[in-house]
Copies of this chain bind each other. A is one copy, B any other.
Amino acid sequence: MLDSYTVFVYFILKENNLKKIPHPRKEDLELCSVLSALSDPVRLSIVKELLGRGECNCSFFCGFSLAKSTMSHHFKVLRESGLIMTTIKGTEYIHSVRKDELDSMFPGVLDSVLKSYDKRRK
């Protein structure tokens, strides 16, 4: 039985609980942090997948056989370095590479790294 007061309280609670995921500003991105984030094989692989697929949630990355808390950690490192952006859609977290901003700050870095990664020995 929902009276108007209950609806109001529910709305406030929802608003307060809305998760805000912090992202660094483009101008604050640091080259060393980006390189460090990319230097881990798991994360480099994530970035490659994200670039290939456009954007997607974490479920695409179960092939790593790593715990989901571990994957969450890697996504966090990528986010804090400025490599990816995360938005929440329902219960899903949608990730995408901040390609334009990265290209603007560090021209050629992402492209050359991923090109080399693609033609590595399998």
Q: Give the B-binding residues of A (Cβ under 8 A).
A: 31-33, 35-36, 38-41, 44, 105-109, 111-113, 115-117, 120
Contact = CB atoms under 8 A, between A and B. Distances in A.
A113 B35 contact: yes
Contacts of A115: 107-108
A43 B41 CA distance: 20
Contact of A108 (B33, B36, B39, B108): B108
Given A36-B36, A39-B36, A113 B31 contact: yes
A102 to B, nearest CB: 10
A29 to B, nearest CB: 10
Contact of A32 (B40, B106, B109, B111): B40
Contacts of A36: 35-36, 39
Contacts of A38: 35
A73 to B, nearest CB: 17
A116 B120 contact: no
A39 B44 contact: no
Contacts of A33: 39
Most buried by B among A105, A109, A111, A117: A109
